[in-house]
Amino acid sequence: TNLVDVSMKAVEICHLYISPGHNFVGHHGREPDAYPMIEVPMIECVAGLGIRDDRYFDFKNNYKGQITFFSLEVFDELCATLGLHDCSPASLRRNVMTRGVDLNELIGE
C-alpha cells in the first residue's frame, strides 16, 4: 500500500495490475482470451503511451484508457450489494485500485 497526496488528501493505492493481452477487445464474434490481471508492486507510466507491459501500452497515441482507476470503496459496496464473496478486485480489469479519493473529481485533471 502506498499513500499519495492529491490536493491535500491522502490517497491509498491498494493494488496495481497489468495484463499482457486483451480478453475482449478485438474478439468480435469469438470467445474471449484468458489473459490474467497480474498484481505488481510498481508500474512504469510512459507519458502518452500508458503502462509499460500492459495490454494498452502504445495502443493509440494519447489513448484515454492507457491507465484505469477504480475505487475499492465502490468495489466493496458492489460486492456487498450483489452478495458477492471472495471476489477479487482484479476481476474488474482496472490498473489502479484506490481508497480515500473520489475518482470522479479527478476526471479531466
Note the pLDDT tens digit of each residue in 30-87.
888 888 999 999 999 999 999 999 999 999 887 888 999 999 999 999 999 999 999 9
Q: Which of the four pLDDT bands, split at 50, 70 and 90, describes residue 109?
A: confident
CA separation for the pair 56, 96 (Å, rounded): 14
pLDDT tens track for 4-13? 555 557 889 9
pLDDT for 19 equals 96
Burial class (CB in 10 A: 0-12, 13-18, 19+), 35: middle
CA separation for the pair 86, 82 (Å, rounded): 12
pLDDT tens track for 86-100? 999 999 999 999 999
C-alpha cell at 61: 497515441
- Domain coordinates of the chain in residue numbers? 2-106
